[in-house]
Amino acid sequence: MNYSKILNQIELELKEFPNNGKVASYIPELSKVDPEKFGIHLYCISGSNHSFGNSTERFSIQSISKVFGLTLAMQLLGDSLWKRMDVEPSGNAYNSLFQLERENGIPRNPFINSGALVISDILISEYENPKDEILKFVRRISGKPTIDFDEKVAQSEKQHGHRNTALANLMKSFGNIKNEINQVLDVYFYQCSLAMSCEELAKAFMLYANEGTLLESNEQLLQPIKVQRINALMQTCGFYDEAGEFAFRVGLPGKSGVGGGIVAVHPEKYSAAVWSPKLNQKGNSLLGMEALERLTTKTGLSIF
Ligand code: GLN
Protein backbone atom coordinates (compact mmCIF):
# COMPACT_ATOMS: atom_id res chain seq x y z
CA MET A 1 0.00 0.00 0.00
CA ASN A 2 1.45 3.38 -1.01
CA TYR A 3 0.32 5.42 2.00
CA SER A 4 2.48 8.44 1.15
CA LYS A 5 0.84 8.76 -2.25
CA ILE A 6 -2.62 8.43 -0.72
CA LEU A 7 -1.90 11.11 1.88
CA ASN A 8 -0.58 13.44 -0.85
CA GLN A 9 -3.81 12.99 -2.77
CA ILE A 10 -5.90 13.69 0.33
CA GLU A 11 -3.90 16.83 1.10
CA LEU A 12 -4.41 18.12 -2.44
CA GLU A 13 -8.11 17.29 -2.58
CA LEU A 14 -8.90 18.86 0.79
CA LYS A 15 -7.29 22.19 -0.14
CA GLU A 16 -10.53 22.86 -2.05
CA PHE A 17 -12.84 21.47 0.61
CA PRO A 18 -15.36 24.01 1.99
CA ASN A 19 -14.77 23.85 5.72
CA ASN A 20 -17.61 25.66 7.46
CA GLY A 21 -16.99 24.14 10.89
CA LYS A 22 -16.52 26.23 14.03
CA VAL A 23 -13.72 26.26 16.60
CA ALA A 24 -14.90 25.34 20.13
CA SER A 25 -15.24 28.50 22.21
CA TYR A 26 -17.03 27.29 25.37
CA ILE A 27 -13.53 26.76 26.76
CA PRO A 28 -12.23 30.27 25.94
CA GLU A 29 -8.56 29.24 25.75
CA LEU A 30 -9.39 26.80 22.91
CA SER A 31 -10.77 29.60 20.73
CA LYS A 32 -7.27 31.12 20.46
CA VAL A 33 -6.08 28.41 18.07
CA ASP A 34 -5.47 29.18 14.37
CA PRO A 35 -8.60 27.62 12.78
CA GLU A 36 -6.75 26.77 9.56
CA LYS A 37 -4.31 24.33 11.18
CA PHE A 38 -4.48 20.95 9.51
CA GLY A 39 -2.22 17.95 9.84
CA ILE A 40 -2.25 14.18 9.76
CA HIS A 41 0.14 11.45 10.83
CA LEU A 42 -0.12 7.80 9.93
CA TYR A 43 1.97 5.25 11.82
CA CYS A 44 2.02 1.78 10.29
CA ILE A 45 2.66 -1.46 12.12
CA SER A 46 5.56 -2.06 9.71
CA GLY A 47 7.23 0.95 11.39
CA SER A 48 6.78 3.33 8.46
CA ASN A 49 5.47 6.86 9.10
CA HIS A 50 3.63 9.21 6.75
CA SER A 51 2.35 12.72 7.38
CA PHE A 52 1.47 16.15 6.00
CA GLY A 53 0.66 19.64 7.29
CA ASN A 54 0.86 20.66 10.95
CA SER A 55 1.45 17.11 12.13
CA THR A 56 4.21 17.87 14.66
CA GLU A 57 2.52 20.84 16.35
CA ARG A 58 0.95 20.16 19.75
CA PHE A 59 -2.73 20.94 20.35
CA SER A 60 -5.28 20.33 23.09
CA ILE A 61 -6.29 16.67 22.81
CA GLN A 62 -9.36 17.11 25.09
CA SER A 63 -11.61 14.01 24.99
CA ILE A 64 -9.06 11.87 23.17
CA SER A 65 -7.47 11.67 26.63
CA LYS A 66 -10.51 9.70 27.84
CA VAL A 67 -8.99 6.62 26.18
CA PHE A 68 -5.88 6.96 28.36
CA GLY A 69 -7.94 7.43 31.54
CA LEU A 70 -10.05 4.39 30.70
CA THR A 71 -6.95 2.27 30.04
CA LEU A 72 -5.53 3.09 33.48
CA ALA A 73 -8.86 2.41 35.22
CA MET A 74 -9.23 -0.95 33.43
CA GLN A 75 -5.76 -1.93 34.59
CA LEU A 76 -6.60 -0.93 38.16
CA LEU A 77 -10.11 -2.31 38.62
CA GLY A 78 -10.71 -5.03 36.04
CA ASP A 79 -14.37 -5.90 35.49
CA SER A 80 -15.67 -4.20 38.63
CA LEU A 81 -15.24 -0.92 36.69
CA TRP A 82 -18.44 -1.77 34.80
CA LYS A 83 -20.54 -1.51 37.95
CA ARG A 84 -19.87 2.23 37.82
CA MET A 85 -20.66 2.82 34.12
CA ASP A 86 -22.18 1.10 31.12
CA VAL A 87 -20.80 0.22 27.68
CA GLU A 88 -23.66 1.51 25.52
CA PRO A 89 -23.60 4.35 22.99
CA SER A 90 -25.38 7.39 24.44
CA GLY A 91 -26.92 8.84 21.28
CA ASN A 92 -26.56 12.17 23.08
CA ALA A 93 -24.09 15.04 23.25
CA TYR A 94 -20.92 14.42 25.30
CA ASN A 95 -22.02 16.80 28.07
CA SER A 96 -25.72 15.92 28.22
CA LEU A 97 -27.34 15.70 31.66
CA PHE A 98 -30.80 14.30 31.18
CA GLN A 99 -29.94 10.65 30.41
CA LEU A 100 -27.79 10.55 33.53
CA GLU A 101 -30.72 11.63 35.71
CA ARG A 102 -32.99 8.99 34.18
CA GLU A 103 -30.35 6.28 34.58
CA ASN A 104 -29.60 6.92 38.25
CA GLY A 105 -26.16 8.50 37.85
CA ILE A 106 -24.66 5.59 35.85
CA PRO A 107 -22.98 7.02 32.72
CA ARG A 108 -23.75 5.29 29.43
CA ASN A 109 -20.06 4.80 28.63
CA PRO A 110 -16.53 5.97 29.60
CA PHE A 111 -16.18 8.34 26.62
CA ILE A 112 -18.89 10.86 27.46
CA ASN A 113 -17.98 13.46 30.09
CA SER A 114 -19.91 11.79 32.92
CA GLY A 115 -18.12 8.48 32.30
CA ALA A 116 -14.74 10.18 32.20
CA LEU A 117 -15.53 12.00 35.46
CA VAL A 118 -16.22 8.65 37.14
CA ILE A 119 -12.88 7.42 35.76
CA SER A 120 -11.16 10.48 37.29
CA ASP A 121 -12.85 9.64 40.59
CA ILE A 122 -11.50 6.07 40.38
CA LEU A 123 -7.96 7.27 39.59
CA ILE A 124 -8.10 9.54 42.67
CA SER A 125 -9.20 6.62 44.87
CA GLU A 126 -6.54 4.27 43.51
CA TYR A 127 -3.47 6.47 43.00
CA GLU A 128 -1.57 8.74 45.37
CA ASN A 129 -1.00 11.20 42.53
CA PRO A 130 -3.37 10.53 39.61
CA LYS A 131 -2.20 13.44 37.44
CA ASP A 132 1.39 12.17 37.60
CA GLU A 133 0.24 8.65 36.69
CA ILE A 134 -1.66 9.96 33.65
CA LEU A 135 1.42 11.85 32.49
CA LYS A 136 3.71 8.89 33.13
CA PHE A 137 1.49 6.58 31.08
CA VAL A 138 1.11 8.95 28.12
CA ARG A 139 4.84 9.73 28.07
CA ARG A 140 5.63 6.04 28.13
CA ILE A 141 3.35 4.95 25.29
CA SER A 142 4.29 7.89 23.08
CA GLY A 143 7.99 7.71 23.96
CA LYS A 144 7.97 11.50 24.56
CA PRO A 145 8.98 12.64 28.07
CA THR A 146 8.16 16.28 27.21
CA ILE A 147 4.39 15.73 26.86
CA ASP A 148 2.57 17.81 29.46
CA PHE A 149 -0.70 19.37 30.58
CA ASP A 150 -1.51 22.84 29.26
CA GLU A 151 -1.98 24.90 32.41
CA LYS A 152 -3.86 27.70 30.61
CA VAL A 153 -6.36 25.32 29.03
CA ALA A 154 -6.91 23.51 32.35
CA GLN A 155 -7.55 26.80 34.20
CA SER A 156 -9.78 28.12 31.42
CA GLU A 157 -11.92 25.00 31.57
CA LYS A 158 -12.01 25.12 35.36
CA GLN A 159 -13.45 28.63 35.19
CA HIS A 160 -16.11 27.71 32.65
CA GLY A 161 -16.81 24.05 33.48
CA HIS A 162 -20.34 24.56 34.77
CA ARG A 163 -21.82 21.58 32.96
CA ASN A 164 -19.10 19.22 34.10
CA THR A 165 -19.62 20.48 37.65
CA ALA A 166 -23.33 19.75 37.27
CA LEU A 167 -22.63 16.24 35.95
CA ALA A 168 -20.26 15.49 38.85
CA ASN A 169 -22.77 16.80 41.42
CA LEU A 170 -25.61 14.81 39.91
CA MET A 171 -23.56 11.60 40.07
CA LYS A 172 -22.44 12.40 43.61
CA SER A 173 -26.12 12.62 44.61
CA PHE A 174 -26.52 9.03 43.34
CA GLY A 175 -23.37 7.88 45.17
CA ASN A 176 -21.37 7.30 41.95
CA ILE A 177 -18.69 9.87 42.83
CA LYS A 178 -16.73 9.00 45.98
CA ASN A 179 -14.22 11.86 46.24
CA GLU A 180 -14.58 15.64 46.53
CA ILE A 181 -16.15 17.21 43.45
CA ASN A 182 -13.35 19.78 43.06
CA GLN A 183 -10.69 17.09 43.20
CA VAL A 184 -12.50 15.04 40.54
CA LEU A 185 -12.95 18.05 38.25
CA ASP A 186 -9.31 19.01 38.70
CA VAL A 187 -8.02 15.62 37.53
CA TYR A 188 -10.55 15.59 34.66
CA PHE A 189 -9.68 19.11 33.43
CA TYR A 190 -5.94 18.47 33.58
CA GLN A 191 -6.34 15.18 31.72
CA CYS A 192 -8.35 16.98 29.00
CA SER A 193 -5.69 19.70 28.75
CA LEU A 194 -2.95 17.31 27.60
CA ALA A 195 -1.14 18.82 24.61
CA MET A 196 0.12 16.42 21.95
CA SER A 197 0.85 16.44 18.21
CA CYS A 198 -0.63 14.13 15.57
CA GLU A 199 2.72 12.38 15.41
CA GLU A 200 2.72 11.75 19.17
CA LEU A 201 -0.93 10.67 19.23
CA ALA A 202 -0.48 8.22 16.37
CA LYS A 203 2.46 6.69 18.20
CA ALA A 204 0.57 6.48 21.51
CA PHE A 205 -2.45 4.86 19.84
CA MET A 206 -0.26 2.24 18.21
CA LEU A 207 -0.72 0.47 21.57
CA TYR A 208 -4.37 -0.10 20.56
CA ALA A 209 -3.50 -1.03 16.97
CA ASN A 210 -0.83 -3.48 18.11
CA GLU A 211 -2.75 -5.66 20.59
CA GLY A 212 -1.40 -3.87 23.66
CA THR A 213 2.29 -4.22 22.80
CA LEU A 214 4.62 -1.22 22.37
CA LEU A 215 5.83 -1.44 18.80
CA GLU A 216 9.41 -0.31 19.34
CA SER A 217 10.33 -2.20 22.53
CA ASN A 218 7.96 -5.15 22.01
CA GLU A 219 6.82 -4.75 25.60
CA GLN A 220 3.31 -6.06 26.36
CA LEU A 221 1.61 -3.29 28.38
CA LEU A 222 -2.03 -4.29 28.05
CA GLN A 223 -3.73 -7.66 27.64
CA PRO A 224 -5.14 -8.13 24.10
CA ILE A 225 -8.67 -8.67 25.53
CA LYS A 226 -8.52 -5.21 27.14
CA VAL A 227 -7.41 -3.66 23.86
CA GLN A 228 -10.26 -5.38 22.04
CA ARG A 229 -12.73 -3.94 24.52
CA ILE A 230 -11.27 -0.43 24.35
CA ASN A 231 -11.42 -0.59 20.55
CA ALA A 232 -15.04 -1.81 20.73
CA LEU A 233 -15.89 1.17 22.93
CA MET A 234 -14.11 3.58 20.58
CA GLN A 235 -16.10 2.10 17.71
CA THR A 236 -19.49 2.39 19.41
CA CYS A 237 -19.02 5.44 21.66
CA GLY A 238 -15.97 7.41 20.45
CA PHE A 239 -17.95 10.13 18.66
CA TYR A 240 -20.95 10.64 20.97
CA ASP A 241 -24.11 11.07 18.93
CA GLU A 242 -22.09 10.74 15.74
CA ALA A 243 -20.59 7.30 16.46
CA GLY A 244 -22.83 5.71 13.83
CA GLU A 245 -21.83 8.31 11.24
CA PHE A 246 -18.13 7.75 11.93
CA ALA A 247 -18.52 3.95 11.65
CA PHE A 248 -20.53 4.42 8.45
CA ARG A 249 -18.17 6.86 6.75
CA VAL A 250 -14.75 5.88 8.15
CA GLY A 251 -15.20 2.36 9.49
CA LEU A 252 -12.55 2.38 12.21
CA PRO A 253 -12.52 2.59 16.02
CA GLY A 254 -11.55 6.12 16.98
CA LYS A 255 -11.82 8.97 19.44
CA SER A 256 -12.32 12.69 18.92
CA GLY A 257 -11.81 15.78 21.06
CA VAL A 258 -13.15 19.34 20.92
CA GLY A 259 -9.62 20.60 20.25
CA GLY A 260 -10.20 19.26 16.72
CA GLY A 261 -8.17 16.08 16.99
CA ILE A 262 -9.28 12.59 15.96
CA VAL A 263 -7.32 9.37 16.34
CA ALA A 264 -8.40 6.18 14.59
CA VAL A 265 -6.87 2.74 14.69
CA HIS A 266 -6.90 -0.07 12.20
CA PRO A 267 -6.06 -3.07 14.41
CA GLU A 268 -2.88 -4.80 13.25
CA LYS A 269 -2.38 -2.25 10.44
CA TYR A 270 -1.96 1.39 11.55
CA SER A 271 -2.98 4.26 13.77
CA ALA A 272 -3.81 7.65 12.27
CA ALA A 273 -4.14 11.02 14.00
CA VAL A 274 -5.57 14.10 12.34
CA TRP A 275 -6.01 17.69 13.57
CA SER A 276 -8.21 20.47 12.24
CA PRO A 277 -9.81 22.73 14.90
CA LYS A 278 -13.07 23.59 13.12
CA LEU A 279 -15.81 21.29 14.44
CA ASN A 280 -19.11 20.13 13.01
CA GLN A 281 -22.35 20.49 14.99
CA LYS A 282 -21.71 17.30 16.95
CA GLY A 283 -18.35 18.58 18.21
CA ASN A 284 -16.15 16.46 15.94
CA SER A 285 -13.49 17.82 13.56
CA LEU A 286 -15.18 18.39 10.21
CA LEU A 287 -12.06 18.16 8.06
CA GLY A 288 -10.63 15.43 10.29
CA MET A 289 -13.57 13.14 9.58
CA GLU A 290 -13.40 13.94 5.89
CA ALA A 291 -9.66 13.13 5.75
CA LEU A 292 -10.12 9.80 7.54
CA GLU A 293 -13.07 8.88 5.33
CA ARG A 294 -10.89 9.46 2.28
CA LEU A 295 -8.06 7.44 3.84
CA THR A 296 -10.20 4.33 4.36
CA THR A 297 -11.92 4.79 0.99
CA LYS A 298 -8.67 5.15 -0.96
CA THR A 299 -6.94 2.26 0.81
CA GLY A 300 -10.06 0.13 0.51
CA LEU A 301 -9.30 -1.14 4.02
CA SER A 302 -11.88 -1.07 6.76
CA ILE A 303 -12.48 -3.32 9.73
CA PHE A 304 -15.86 -4.25 8.29
N1 GLN B 1 -12.87 19.06 28.24
C2 GLN B 1 -14.01 19.00 27.39
C3 GLN B 1 -15.30 19.08 28.19
O4 GLN B 1 -15.34 18.55 29.25
C5 GLN B 1 -13.91 17.72 26.59
C6 GLN B 1 -15.06 17.55 25.63
C7 GLN B 1 -14.67 16.89 24.33
O8 GLN B 1 -13.54 16.91 23.88
N9 GLN B 1 -15.67 16.36 23.67
O10 GLN B 1 -16.26 19.64 27.79
Q: Which domains does the chain have, with CATH numbers?
A: 3-299 (3.40.710.10)
Alpha-carbon gap, residue 189 to 185, rounded angstroms: 6
Tell me the per-residue pLDDT of 58-113, one tens digit each, with 9 for 90 and over.
999 999 999 999 999 999 998 999 999 999 999 888 899 999 999 999 999 999 99
DSSP 143: T
Its pTM stands at: 0.97
Quick one: pLDDT at residue 197?
A: 98
pLDDT one-digit tens code per residue, 12-28:
999 989 999 999 999 99
C-alpha 147 chain-centroid distance:
16
Q: How many beta carbons lie within 10 A of that of residue 32, not counting itself?
A: 11
Q: 283 CA to middle of ligand 1, Å?
A: 9
Closest ligand 1 atom number to CA of residue 26 = 10
Q: Ligand 1: which residues within 6 Å by Cβ?
A: 62-63, 94-95, 113, 157, 164, 192, 257-258, 283
Q: Which of the four pLDDT bands, split at 50, 70 and 90, describes residue 1?
A: confident
Distance 64 CA to ligand 1 centre (A): 9
